[in-house]
Structure 1
Amino acid sequence: MQGGELAELSTFLAVARHRSFKKAAVERGVAASAVSHAIRNLEGRVGVRLFHRTTRSVSLTEAGERFLSELHPAFGQIEQALDSLNAYRETPFGTVRINIPSSIAPFVLKTVMGPLVKQNPGLRLDIVATDELVDIVADGFDCGIRFGERLMQNMIAVRIKPTLRFSVVGSPEYFQGRTPPRVPADLVEHLCIRYRFPSGAIYDWQFEKDGEAVDVEVSGAVTLDSQELMVEAALQGCGLAYVWDNRIASHLASGALIRCLDDWCAPDDGLFLYYPSRRHVSAGLRAVIDMMKK
């Protein structure tokens, strides 16, 4: 098999995984036209149409589905064979694709990316940060990072650092003439800045104290899909925000934001890196896991 043919097959897998020529191009670091050209060459060489294409969607034909089912395991064996060469190298090489919620990515990866690439010159990190729930197997990720209650089945989960914590905060302007909430039930008397998941669902604020867990469905005039914007809305007096503590340290120190319900905001130590139980753990993924655990 020639190198060009192998590249075409790899491109086919990327398009099949994403159901998108554009996303496959981003993954492979090439122009979308190059992906389209590679697929046309492959289809012309095998004499079979592998994808249905419209202006809005890309889907596999019946032949494409069968080809994918037989090709995917073969490429897995190739990846494993290449990874076995790491035993003869000083450091791992290859690409590790990681999915992580965008709301926590800056805190989790803050002290990880630099040491990983410096200590492993042959290692490449392909990180996708999104708060959308992602199927890491279907979307071709080596691993994902989530909190324990949202882990998928049939996954191996490794507890990682850091320990994160939510805080409820408001501006001095907001608290003028208002009594700060003392228990979660008091939030019904307050304007709260709500968070919307990419799915459209609104996040309920979660609290815990002395073994008692409480979920509160809050209401308010502002709903956002970004914690960064939630902090800005709180700074402008739009209401109370329920955000990661790491995002507001400087605002708490300056007095621009005031914390409340602090004794109900327990640290969440259920942060995990997870990967499919049937997946071969490459040397690159092992290096990522070891760094995340420190």
Structure 2
Amino acid sequence: MSKPTFTDLKAFQAVAEHRSFRRAADLMGVSRSSLSHTMRTLEQRLGTRLLHRTTRSVSLTESGEQLLLRLSPLLSDLEAILEDASSAEGKITGRLRINGSEGAVRLLLQTVVPRFLALHDDVELDLVAEGRLVDIVEQGFDAGVRLREAVPQDMIAIPVGTELRFLAVASPDYLRGRVAPKTPDDLAFHQCIKQRLPSGKLYRWEFQQHGQDMAVDVPGALTLDSSQLMVEASVDGLGIAYVPESYALAYLKDGRLVTVLEEWCPRIPGLCLYYPNNRRVPPSLRAFIDLLRELRT
């Protein structure tokens, strides 16, 4: 019987750490059936069961726990050696996985990504856009991009882009015949386009003026879960929306939207790329960070 390969051991590590064939298969870019076959072959080669499998869960046997404990640092060291060897020759290789909101990924695509791919064409850049905030370590990502206030405190954060601003906007047609709100409390007399967060909760609109913070549960008959759709609904006269400035900018310039409560909408710290502070930074992520910093200067 042949000995396990490096790929076999990496596959076991992915399944063992994520306790999921689906998640490990997605991370490795293979099918679940292929990954399951690899695990069965590995167990046959080692002559021991490594995983307990049910239709709903995966857990480690005692042998699996011992193998993972001893294997993980060895694989980490080997990957570091191979990455250092490649980067020493001026070539950065591998796969760089970054998770972020749709707006964050859009910003990366408009700024750093084109140049990064031109400089490092041997790197496979995997950008995943989703609304919910995930544990990037648990989900197998090298880094995440979120608003600074959402970055976990135990992460290293690198600013991306500039400060952001949320604006309350409405169409002239909606405001015609109505008194525009002068304070956040006045929103109680308006139709507002509410936002449902990925967690399922409704977003409380947050305002600030002269050091005074306000969070408002706004009224409204329409709830959406997309900033772009909220802007389009506001353009159609369905109510006041509260969205990142970048989504509304084009409509503000051509007059299809106007701002309300603008003095209550200060700029806030923008997006940050973040990654664990207790892990070795792979060369691909280091190169991405260096390019981010270069573009900010």
Amino acid at match of 1:50: L
Work out the CA distance in 2 between the residues paired with 1:151 and 1:144: 9
1:126 paired residue number: 126
Shift of 1:190: 1.6
Mapped to 2, the partners of 1:22 and 1:254 lie a distance apart of 47
Counterpart in 2 of 1:78?
78
Contact in 1 for aligned 2:99/2:127 (Cα 8 Å): yes
Shift of 1:87: 4.2
Paired positions, count: 291
Q: Deviations over 1:118-175 (max 9, x none)?
A: 0112222111111212111111211111222222132222222233221111122322
C-alpha distance in 2 between matches for 1:186 and 1:13: 56
SS in 1 for 2:37: helix
Alpha-carbon distance, 1:102 to partner: 2.1
The residue type equivalent to 1:248 in the other structure is: A
Deviation of 1:39 (Å): 2.0
C-alpha spacing 1:191/1:73, structure 2 compared with 1 (3 Å): farther
Structure 2 regions of 5+ residues with no counterpart? none
1:14–1:230: structure 2 CA closer, same or farther, 3 Å change rule?
farther
Indicate if the aligned counterparts of 2:104 and 2:271 stay in contact, CA closer than 8 A: no
Shift of 1:65: 4.4
C-alpha change, 1:136 and 1:65, in structure 2 (3 Å) is farther
Contact 1:49 1:61 in 2 (8 A): yes
TM-score (norm 1): 0.89
- Give the conservation status (yes or no) of the 8 Å contact 1:11–1:24: yes
Are the structure 2 counterparts of residues 3 and 155 from structure 1 closer, same or farther at C-alpha, using a change threshold of 3 Å?
Answer: farther
Whether the 8 Å contact between 1:101 and 1:146 is mirrored in structure 2 is yes
* Cα distance in structure 1, aligned partners of 2:17 and 2:258: 46
One-letter amino acid matched to 1:196: R
* Residue-by-residue CA offset, 1:223-245 (whole Å, 9 max, x unaligned): 22222221222222222111111
Aligned residue in 2 for 1:26: 26
User: Match for 2:59: what amino acid?
Assistant: L
Residues 17 and 100 of structure 1, relative CA distance in 2, 3 Å threshold: farther
Change in Cα spacing, 1:71 to 1:202, as seen in structure 2 (3 Å) is: farther
Q: Say yes or no: does 1:206 pair with 2:217.
A: no
2:57 aligns with 58
* 8 Å CA contact retained: 1:205, 1:242: yes
Q: Shift in Å at residue 18 of structure 1?
A: 4.3
The whole-number CA distance in structure 2 between the counterparts of 1:69 and 1:148 is 34
Name the residue aligned to 2:247: 247
What is aligned with 1:48?
49
Further displaced range: 232-241 or 128-137: 232-241
Instruction: Show the counterpart of 2:68.
Output: 68
Tell me the distance in 2 between the aligned counterparts of 1:110 and 1:51: 45
Cα distance in structure 1, aligned partners of 2:142 and 2:261: 38
For 1:102 and 1:186, locate their aligned partners in 2 and report how far apart those are by CA, in whole Å: 31
2:155 is the counterpart of 1:138: no
> Is contact 2:4–2:45 with CA below 8 Å preserved after alignment?
no
Q: Is the 8 A contact 1:194 1:203 kept in 2?
A: yes
**What stretches of structure 1 of length at least 5 have no aligned partner?**
none
Deviation (angstroms), 1:270 = 4.0
CA contact (8 A) 2:27 2:140 kept: no
Question: Residue 152 of structure 2 aligns to which amino acid in structure 1?
Answer: M
Preserved contact between residue 93 and residue 123 of structure 1 (Cα < 8 Å): yes
Question: Identical aligned pairs, as a percentage?
Answer: 40
Residues 113 and 184 of structure 1: is their aligned pair in 2 closer, same or farther, counting only changes over 3 Å? same
Partner Cα separation in structure 1 for residue 67 and residue 175 of structure 2? 62
Deviates more, 1:62-71 or 1:157-166: 62-71
Q: Post-superposition shift, 1:22? A: 3.3
Segment drifting more, 64-73 vs 164-173: 64-73
Does structure 1 residue 105 correspond to structure 2 residue 110?
no
TM-score (norm. length: structure 2): 0.88
Deviation by residue 1:72-130 (Cα, 9 ceiling, x = unmatched): 33222222212212442224222111111224321243211111010112222111111
Q: Distance in 2 between matches of 1:170 and 1:108?
A: 28
When the two chains are superposed, the root-mean-square deviation of aligned CA atoms in Å is 2.2
Cα distance change, pair 59–206 in 1 and its aligned pair in 2 (3 A): same
